Structure 1
Amino acid sequence: MPTIKFTGPALVASVEENDDGSLDLISDKTTLESLNGLSYQDEEFSDYLYDREETEGFAEYVSGGILSFTYDSSSGALIGSIEYQLSRHLSADEVEALEEYTIEQLTDGIGSNFSQERALSGEVTPFINHEELSCHQAS
Protein backbone atom coordinates (compact mmCIF):
# COMPACT_ATOMS: atom_id res chain seq x y z
CA MET A 1 0.00 0.00 0.00
CA PRO A 2 1.42 3.42 -0.92
CA THR A 3 2.09 5.96 1.80
CA ILE A 4 2.89 9.62 2.02
CA LYS A 5 4.81 10.95 4.98
CA PHE A 6 5.40 14.53 6.04
CA THR A 7 8.31 15.05 8.43
CA GLY A 8 10.04 17.98 10.02
CA PRO A 9 12.24 18.88 12.93
CA ALA A 10 10.29 19.13 16.16
CA LEU A 11 10.69 21.96 18.59
CA VAL A 12 9.85 21.38 22.25
CA ALA A 13 8.32 24.12 24.36
CA SER A 14 8.17 24.41 28.12
CA VAL A 15 4.81 24.41 29.85
CA GLU A 16 5.17 27.72 31.65
CA GLU A 17 5.00 31.02 29.78
CA ASN A 18 7.55 33.77 30.31
CA ASP A 19 6.41 37.22 31.49
CA ASP A 20 6.05 38.31 27.86
CA GLY A 21 3.83 35.30 27.02
CA SER A 22 6.55 33.43 25.14
CA LEU A 23 7.64 29.88 25.85
CA ASP A 24 11.19 28.65 26.29
CA LEU A 25 12.37 26.03 23.82
CA ILE A 26 13.92 22.95 25.35
CA SER A 27 16.81 21.20 23.63
CA ASP A 28 18.41 18.99 26.26
CA LYS A 29 19.01 15.42 25.14
CA THR A 30 17.22 13.79 28.07
CA THR A 31 13.96 15.62 27.40
CA LEU A 32 14.13 15.02 23.64
CA GLU A 33 14.87 11.32 24.13
CA SER A 34 11.94 11.02 26.55
CA LEU A 35 9.59 12.05 23.73
CA ASN A 36 10.73 9.24 21.42
CA GLY A 37 7.68 7.27 20.33
CA LEU A 38 5.17 9.86 21.52
CA SER A 39 2.07 9.94 19.32
CA TYR A 40 -1.32 11.60 19.35
CA GLN A 41 -3.94 9.06 18.39
CA ASP A 42 -7.12 10.81 19.54
CA GLU A 43 -7.64 12.10 16.00
CA GLU A 44 -6.26 11.17 12.59
CA PHE A 45 -5.39 13.92 10.16
CA SER A 46 -7.43 12.18 7.46
CA ASP A 47 -10.60 12.60 9.57
CA TYR A 48 -11.20 16.09 8.18
CA LEU A 49 -10.14 15.80 4.54
CA TYR A 50 -13.76 15.86 3.33
CA ASP A 51 -14.24 19.21 5.08
CA ARG A 52 -12.08 21.10 2.59
CA GLU A 53 -12.81 21.76 -1.06
CA GLU A 54 -9.10 21.37 -1.94
CA THR A 55 -8.90 17.86 -0.47
CA GLU A 56 -12.39 16.39 -0.79
CA GLY A 57 -11.69 15.17 -4.36
CA PHE A 58 -9.07 12.69 -3.19
CA ALA A 59 -10.08 12.20 0.46
CA GLU A 60 -11.44 8.71 -0.23
CA TYR A 61 -7.93 7.56 -1.20
CA VAL A 62 -6.27 8.79 2.00
CA SER A 63 -6.48 7.31 5.51
CA GLY A 64 -4.51 7.53 8.73
CA GLY A 65 -2.37 10.48 9.59
CA ILE A 66 -1.19 10.07 13.16
CA LEU A 67 1.02 12.78 14.65
CA SER A 68 4.14 11.09 16.07
CA PHE A 69 7.66 11.92 17.24
CA THR A 70 10.95 10.04 16.97
CA TYR A 71 14.29 10.90 18.55
CA ASP A 72 17.15 10.70 16.04
CA SER A 73 20.27 9.86 18.05
CA SER A 74 22.64 10.55 15.14
CA SER A 75 21.56 14.20 14.91
CA GLY A 76 20.34 14.62 18.50
CA ALA A 77 17.05 15.96 17.15
CA LEU A 78 13.42 15.16 17.67
CA ILE A 79 11.61 14.55 14.38
CA GLY A 80 7.87 14.89 13.98
CA SER A 81 5.86 13.10 11.32
CA ILE A 82 2.42 12.50 9.92
CA GLU A 83 2.06 9.41 7.73
CA TYR A 84 -0.97 8.73 5.59
CA GLN A 85 -1.89 5.45 3.89
CA LEU A 86 -3.00 5.75 0.27
CA SER A 87 -5.09 3.48 -1.90
CA ARG A 88 -3.46 5.12 -4.94
CA HIS A 89 -0.58 7.52 -5.58
CA LEU A 90 -1.46 11.19 -5.42
CA SER A 91 -0.74 13.66 -8.22
CA ALA A 92 1.63 16.56 -7.61
CA ASP A 93 -1.35 18.92 -7.16
CA GLU A 94 -2.97 16.54 -4.69
CA VAL A 95 0.28 16.22 -2.71
CA GLU A 96 0.51 20.01 -2.57
CA ALA A 97 -3.09 20.28 -1.34
CA LEU A 98 -2.48 17.54 1.25
CA GLU A 99 0.66 19.32 2.46
CA GLU A 100 -1.20 22.63 2.87
CA TYR A 101 -3.99 20.82 4.70
CA THR A 102 -1.47 19.03 6.95
CA ILE A 103 0.24 22.32 7.84
CA GLU A 104 -3.12 23.86 8.74
CA GLN A 105 -3.92 20.88 10.97
CA LEU A 106 -0.50 21.15 12.62
CA THR A 107 -0.82 24.85 13.36
CA ASP A 108 -4.50 25.32 14.12
CA GLY A 109 -6.30 21.98 14.19
CA ILE A 110 -5.17 18.65 15.56
CA GLY A 111 -1.73 20.03 16.45
CA SER A 112 -3.33 22.76 18.54
CA ASN A 113 -5.54 20.21 20.35
CA PHE A 114 -2.48 18.08 21.09
CA SER A 115 -0.50 21.06 22.41
CA GLN A 116 -3.34 22.23 24.64
CA GLU A 117 -3.84 18.77 26.13
CA ARG A 118 -0.12 18.45 26.91
CA ALA A 119 0.04 21.94 28.41
CA LEU A 120 -2.99 21.28 30.61
CA SER A 121 -1.39 18.10 31.90
CA GLY A 122 1.85 19.97 32.72
CA GLU A 123 3.96 18.23 30.09
CA VAL A 124 6.44 19.76 27.65
CA THR A 125 4.94 20.18 24.20
CA PRO A 126 6.66 19.09 20.98
CA PHE A 127 5.48 20.58 17.73
CA ILE A 128 6.68 20.18 14.17
CA ASN A 129 8.42 23.12 12.55
CA HIS A 130 6.05 23.28 9.56
CA GLU A 131 8.38 25.69 7.73
CA GLU A 132 10.84 22.82 7.31
CA LEU A 133 8.31 20.12 6.42
CA SER A 134 9.42 17.56 3.84
CA CYS A 135 7.35 15.01 1.97
CA HIS A 136 8.03 11.48 0.79
CA GLN A 137 5.55 9.37 -1.18
CA ALA A 138 6.39 5.65 -1.31
CA SER A 139 4.95 2.59 -3.02
Structure 2
Amino acid sequence: MAGCVFLSRLSPLIRGRVCCKVSSCAQTRVRRLWCAFSCSQLLRVGGNSGLAGKVDRFGGVTVDLAEVGLPADISEDAFSRLLRDSLSQWKAEGRMAVWLRVPMPLSRCAAAASSHGFTFHHARGEHAMLALWLGESESRLPGFA
Protein backbone atom coordinates (compact mmCIF):
# COMPACT_ATOMS: atom_id res chain seq x y z
CA MET A 1 0.00 0.00 0.00
CA ALA A 2 2.85 2.37 0.77
CA GLY A 3 4.17 1.72 -2.72
CA CYS A 4 0.81 2.69 -4.19
CA VAL A 5 0.76 5.95 -2.24
CA PHE A 6 4.34 6.67 -3.32
CA LEU A 7 3.45 6.01 -6.96
CA SER A 8 0.33 8.17 -6.77
CA ARG A 9 2.42 11.06 -5.44
CA LEU A 10 5.05 10.48 -8.11
CA SER A 11 2.57 10.17 -10.99
CA PRO A 12 2.17 13.90 -11.75
CA LEU A 13 5.94 14.25 -12.01
CA ILE A 14 6.24 11.28 -14.34
CA ARG A 15 3.31 12.37 -16.49
CA GLY A 16 4.64 15.92 -16.76
CA ARG A 17 8.09 14.78 -17.85
CA VAL A 18 7.02 11.98 -20.15
CA CYS A 19 3.89 13.42 -21.72
CA CYS A 20 5.13 16.92 -22.49
CA LYS A 21 7.59 15.55 -25.08
CA VAL A 22 5.27 13.23 -27.02
CA SER A 23 2.40 13.66 -29.48
CA SER A 24 -1.19 13.97 -28.29
CA CYS A 25 -1.96 10.45 -29.59
CA ALA A 26 0.89 9.07 -27.52
CA GLN A 27 -0.23 11.19 -24.56
CA THR A 28 -3.67 9.58 -24.75
CA ARG A 29 -2.13 6.11 -24.77
CA VAL A 30 0.14 6.96 -21.85
CA ARG A 31 -2.81 8.44 -19.94
CA ARG A 32 -4.93 5.30 -20.52
CA LEU A 33 -2.06 3.05 -19.50
CA TRP A 34 -1.44 5.15 -16.39
CA CYS A 35 -5.13 5.07 -15.43
CA ALA A 36 -5.23 1.30 -15.86
CA PHE A 37 -2.11 0.98 -13.71
CA SER A 38 -3.51 3.32 -11.04
CA CYS A 39 -6.80 1.44 -10.87
CA SER A 40 -4.99 -1.89 -10.61
CA GLN A 41 -2.99 -0.49 -7.68
CA LEU A 42 -6.21 0.61 -5.97
CA LEU A 43 -7.61 -2.89 -6.26
CA ARG A 44 -4.76 -4.37 -4.23
CA VAL A 45 -6.04 -3.82 -0.72
CA GLY A 46 -5.15 -6.76 1.46
CA GLY A 47 -5.55 -9.10 -1.50
CA ASN A 48 -9.14 -7.97 -2.05
CA SER A 49 -10.58 -5.48 -4.49
CA GLY A 50 -11.70 -2.13 -3.18
CA LEU A 51 -10.81 1.26 -1.83
CA ALA A 52 -8.35 1.66 1.02
CA GLY A 53 -9.88 3.09 4.18
CA LYS A 54 -9.13 3.53 7.85
CA VAL A 55 -11.20 1.54 10.33
CA ASP A 56 -12.44 3.61 13.26
CA ARG A 57 -13.15 2.50 16.83
CA PHE A 58 -16.87 2.22 16.08
CA GLY A 59 -16.45 -0.34 13.31
CA GLY A 60 -16.80 2.14 10.48
CA VAL A 61 -14.48 2.85 7.57
CA THR A 62 -13.29 6.30 6.49
CA VAL A 63 -12.05 6.71 2.93
CA ASP A 64 -10.37 9.94 1.85
CA LEU A 65 -10.51 10.02 -1.95
CA ALA A 66 -7.68 12.57 -2.00
CA GLU A 67 -5.38 9.98 -0.39
CA VAL A 68 -6.27 6.70 -2.11
CA GLY A 69 -4.59 7.57 -5.41
CA LEU A 70 -7.59 7.73 -7.71
CA PRO A 71 -6.75 8.88 -11.24
CA ALA A 72 -7.78 12.53 -11.65
CA ASP A 73 -9.91 11.62 -14.66
CA ILE A 74 -11.66 8.54 -13.23
CA SER A 75 -15.16 8.20 -14.65
CA GLU A 76 -18.32 7.93 -12.57
CA ASP A 77 -18.84 4.40 -13.87
CA ALA A 78 -15.32 3.25 -12.96
CA PHE A 79 -15.63 4.78 -9.49
CA SER A 80 -19.08 3.25 -9.03
CA ARG A 81 -17.72 -0.24 -9.78
CA LEU A 82 -14.80 0.31 -7.42
CA LEU A 83 -17.14 1.54 -4.68
CA ARG A 84 -19.54 -1.37 -5.23
CA ASP A 85 -16.69 -3.86 -4.73
CA SER A 86 -15.53 -1.98 -1.63
CA LEU A 87 -19.02 -1.95 -0.11
CA SER A 88 -19.33 -5.70 -0.64
CA GLN A 89 -16.00 -6.22 1.08
CA TRP A 90 -16.87 -3.98 4.04
CA LYS A 91 -20.28 -5.62 4.51
CA ALA A 92 -18.60 -9.04 4.52
CA GLU A 93 -16.18 -7.76 7.17
CA GLY A 94 -19.10 -6.59 9.33
CA ARG A 95 -18.35 -2.86 9.08
CA MET A 96 -21.13 -0.64 10.38
CA ALA A 97 -20.67 2.58 8.40
CA VAL A 98 -18.67 4.18 5.62
CA TRP A 99 -17.50 7.78 5.59
CA LEU A 100 -16.39 9.07 2.20
CA ARG A 101 -14.37 12.30 2.05
CA VAL A 102 -14.73 13.73 -1.46
CA PRO A 103 -12.45 16.60 -2.56
CA MET A 104 -13.78 19.17 -5.06
CA PRO A 105 -11.74 17.87 -8.03
CA LEU A 106 -13.40 14.45 -7.60
CA SER A 107 -16.90 15.78 -6.92
CA ARG A 108 -18.31 13.67 -9.77
CA CYS A 109 -17.66 10.68 -7.48
CA ALA A 110 -20.34 12.01 -5.11
CA ALA A 111 -23.02 11.32 -7.74
CA ALA A 112 -21.80 7.74 -8.11
CA ALA A 113 -21.72 7.33 -4.31
CA SER A 114 -25.30 8.62 -4.00
CA SER A 115 -26.46 5.82 -6.31
CA HIS A 116 -25.13 3.39 -3.68
CA GLY A 117 -27.07 5.10 -0.88
CA PHE A 118 -24.56 7.65 0.40
CA THR A 119 -25.92 10.96 1.67
CA PHE A 120 -24.22 14.26 2.39
CA HIS A 121 -23.19 14.64 6.01
CA HIS A 122 -21.40 17.97 5.74
CA ALA A 123 -19.15 20.06 3.53
CA ARG A 124 -16.21 22.24 4.50
CA GLY A 125 -13.81 24.21 2.38
CA GLU A 126 -12.63 21.99 -0.44
CA HIS A 127 -14.35 18.71 0.45
CA ALA A 128 -17.69 17.07 1.17
CA MET A 129 -18.21 14.24 3.64
CA LEU A 130 -20.69 11.56 2.61
CA ALA A 131 -21.95 8.80 4.88
CA LEU A 132 -23.60 5.41 4.52
CA TRP A 133 -24.95 3.25 7.34
CA LEU A 134 -24.34 -0.45 6.64
CA GLY A 135 -25.88 -1.87 9.80
CA GLU A 136 -29.19 -3.75 9.87
CA SER A 137 -30.57 -1.54 12.64
CA GLU A 138 -31.53 2.11 12.43
CA SER A 139 -28.62 4.41 11.62
CA ARG A 140 -26.53 5.50 14.59
CA LEU A 141 -24.46 7.98 12.58
CA PRO A 142 -24.13 11.30 14.39
CA GLY A 143 -25.60 14.45 12.93
CA PHE A 144 -23.31 17.28 11.95
CA ALA A 145 -22.91 19.72 14.83
TM-score, length of structure 1 as denominator length: 0.31
User: By percentage of residues, which structure has more helix?
Assistant: 2
User: By percentage of residues, which structure has more strand?
Assistant: 1
Of structures 1 and 2, the one scoring higher in RCO (CA 8 A, sep 6+) is 1
Larger radius of gyration: 2
